[in-house]
Structure 1
Amino acid sequence: MVTAVTLAMTMVFGSAPAMAFPAPLEYTIATPQGAADAPGAHEELREAALAARNYPLSGTGDVHYVARSGWLMSVDAGDDVEADLVPTVTQMWLGPDGSARMDQSRGAPLDLDGLLKSTDTPAPGVLESTDTAEAGTFDPHLPDTLPRDPQTLRVALLDRSALPATASAAERAWTLAAQIADLHGLYVIPSDLAAAMWEVLADEPAVRLLGLTTARDGRPAHGFAIAWDRPDTGAHQVFVLHVSTTTGQLIGTETITVTDPALDVTEPTVTGFEVWLSTGMVDTIGTPGP
């Protein structure tokens, strides 16, 4: 199964002009680069699960709609590796027959604090790229069939990633968080499943609490982080989930690269982020979300 994150990364259009990396966000307890020494996030994730369980789905149709805005990394792997961050708005529709459509447009710039200057989705016809998938490409019923028991759900999420048995606690937590973000990028997640996802992460000791922050769309959020030294690249990265303080919904992700020999990153740098602008069930593919 091709994942939403993979689609988003491979569909980034063209090359972008050189630009500065986004300004880092501030947190009340710890910085992302200090995540390994931050406190555990068990209690806060349990609270997020409770809030998510009480948050209703939006919309009444049978087509999943997810709109995100972010800066995605575009890497030119020539003789000298070069990377640009491309501001991109991605709108995804998944139909009841497993067909899908993804539209991508140039995204909004950031202000000096690193917040999006606009959280509007593009007007109809303002597109840079579009891609479609035929019926049967995706499983539209996956959110209904995934387990709600946290331990069983953990196994199901790890099975989707084929994580080796020798994986470290940090790699396991990173993989679980990435799977959760990936599913949110394709599906409108039911309330009880969202709650179970946070309960899964609550029992992962490598998930740490950064504290409160203002997400890049201006909403208040808890920051939950996983630090991982990647054995394949030698990079030290931190993956951050932003979860609404009021609804328990996932509203954003950040990737902070602390060091990366291939990209010549030697200090903490935001190398990608996404913000969920709108999610909900709609009547037809192509219909704007709620």
Structure 2
Amino acid sequence: MGIREDRELTDLHDLLRDHGMIPDIPDALLTGQDAEALLRQVLESPPGAAGLLTDSPVARRETGRTVGRGRALSAVAAAVLVVALIGAQTTHPATATAATPPLLDYTRASPSDIATDELPDAHDALLDLAAVARSTPEPARDGRVQHVVAQEWLLETTITASRGAEPENALYPTRTELWVAPDGSGQVVQQRSAAVTYDGRLDPDAGPSTGGTASADDLPPGTWDATLDERLPRDPDALATQLIDTAATECSLDGWSGYCLGEQIQSRFLGSVVPQDLAGSFWEVLAAEPTVRLLGETTDRLGRDGTAFLVPVPTLSGQPQDEDSALVLVVSPETGQLLSSETLTTRSALLEIDEPTVTGFSAVTSSGYTQAVGR
């Protein structure tokens, strides 16, 4: 590699780092062949990934509308275009699948166990967490506006006519901030967040990327049902019935209730400040589901200790049987609150995955009340 190319790569690295797209490289990786292999992996990432947009999980679950990212990505797109141009000069073909963070470590399961039906039953562990949640006092409220912040990593796949049937994958490290007022109005703000570190962790102190706001939506009264958590029944059977009744149609099919309940519960923690007694009822609901399995103790991507559970995603009869994935929920053993959730894909023809792979996660970094929307 010549002096000019060396300088261009240095400038490119600085630009990506300044926009929060890559973390600092650990010293252990800055030696000889390891550094060269790491650089080659970056340069051979699929071109064009920067042009893909993703939607807000909060907006998707609560309003069904897509939150666009707008002009804030222009600098990012330009930076990745440089990666594509330089990567095109390498002698190795680009891989079709974007890099993903490593799996979390679980005390009761290895990666090979995750794709099997041999994981332990989760019933007792969930009931223990339900008791913890109910015995934990409610935090003091500083206002009436719900405020939830999550660090998220979202994978989006698109297929375009120009690439035929070949999928394009893109990664979106995102900080999602949600405010919900008593009248159901609110605001959703999404910002580029610091990149995931090489060990798969997030830096809770990194703050938003210098790339700035990716999207900001002010939503009118009635957008959210701000009192839903107060009205949901605490009896586990009645709660499960209401959650299934408001879920997708397929959730009434045999074998779907565990996953659908897990998704509904996850959406409440990401879209509202869940009271402690309701959190306890949520875990009692899942304890009655035989498809919910125990992964064991883990440390989530923010370094917090939690208990992890896995719920396989069912498939509809008659659909291609080439996709296997699961929802992972990580719960705090101290408060009974949801810490984070992950999408774990074990097999996917579309994503070219044939081993357990993390294809998305959301980590709740704060959940409480404030005095006004936007602060």
**TM-score normalised by the chain length of structure 1:** 0.90
Q: Which letter maps to 1:142?
A: L
Aligned partners of 1:121 and 1:35: how far apart in 2? 38
Displacement of 1:11 in angstroms is 2.9
* Equivalent residues of 1:94, 1:140 under 8 A apart: yes
Deviations 1:112-158 (A, max 9, x none): 32111334543999422111211111111101111100000000110
Aligned partners of 2:211 and 2:358: how far apart in 1? 31
1:66 to 142, 148, 170: 148
2:133 to 52, 59, 77: 52
Aligned partners of 2:116 and 2:282: how far apart in 1? 21
Q: Which residue of 1 aligns with 2:367?
A: 279
Moved more, 227-236 or 217-226: 227-236
Q: Which residue of 2 aligns with 1:192?
A: 277
Deviations 1:167-214 (A, max 9, x none): 232x21111000001111111011111110000001111000000000
Which structure has the larger Rg?
2
Cα 1:12–1:177, aligned 2, differ >3 Å: closer, same or farther?
farther
Q: Which residue of 2 aligns with 1:227?
A: 312
Q: Which letter maps to 2:232?
A: L
More relative contact order in 1 or in 2 (CA 8 Å, sep 6+)?
Answer: 1
Aligned partners of 2:153 and 2:225: how far apart in 1? 27
Q: Which residue of 2 aligns with 1:22?
A: 101
* Equivalent residues of 2:273, 2:367 under 8 A apart: yes
Q: Relative to total residues, which structure has the larger strand share, 1 or 2? A: 1
* Equivalent residues of 1:233, 1:260 under 8 A apart: no
1:31 to 110, 116, 122: 110
> Match of 1:216, SS?
coil
5 Å-filtered alignment, 1:72-111, equals: 72-78=154-160, 79=164, 80-111=166-197
Q: Which letter maps to 1:23?
A: P
Q: Which letter maps to 2:279?
A: A
2:298 to 213, 221, 232: 213
Q: Which residue of 2 aligns with 1:113?
A: 199
Q: Which residue of 2 aligns with 1:11?
A: 67
Percent identity between matched residues is 36
Runs of 5+ in structure 2 lacking a partner?
A: 1-55, 81-96
* Equivalent residues of 1:94, 1:285 under 8 A apart: yes
Cα 1:213–1:203, aligned 2, differ >3 Å: closer, same or farther?
same
Deviations 1:226-278 (A, max 9, x none): 12343356410011000012111100001011111122212211000010000
Aligned partners of 1:229 and 1:199: how far apart in 2? 21
Aligned partners of 1:89 and 1:111: how far apart in 2? 15
* Equivalent residues of 1:35, 1:208 under 8 A apart: no
Displacement of 1:166 in angstroms is 5.7
Q: Which letter maps to 1:173?
A: G
Cα 1:275–1:50, aligned 2, differ >3 Å: closer, same or farther?
same
* Equivalent residues of 1:101, 1:132 under 8 A apart: yes
Q: Which letter maps to 1:190?
A: P
Aligned partners of 1:162 and 1:7: how far apart in 2? 12
Deviations 1:6-29 (A, max 9, x none): 169943635875851011111000
1:129 to 210, 215, 225: 215
Aligned partners of 2:251 and 2:224: how far apart in 1? 27
Moved more, 146-155 or 17-26: 17-26
Q: How many residues align?
A: 285
Q: Which letter maps to 1:177?
A: G
* Equivalent residues of 1:36, 1:227 under 8 A apart: no
What is the RMSD computed on CA atoms of the aligned residues? Answer: 2.5
* Equivalent residues of 1:174, 1:226 under 8 A apart: yes
Displacement of 1:164 in angstroms is 3.6
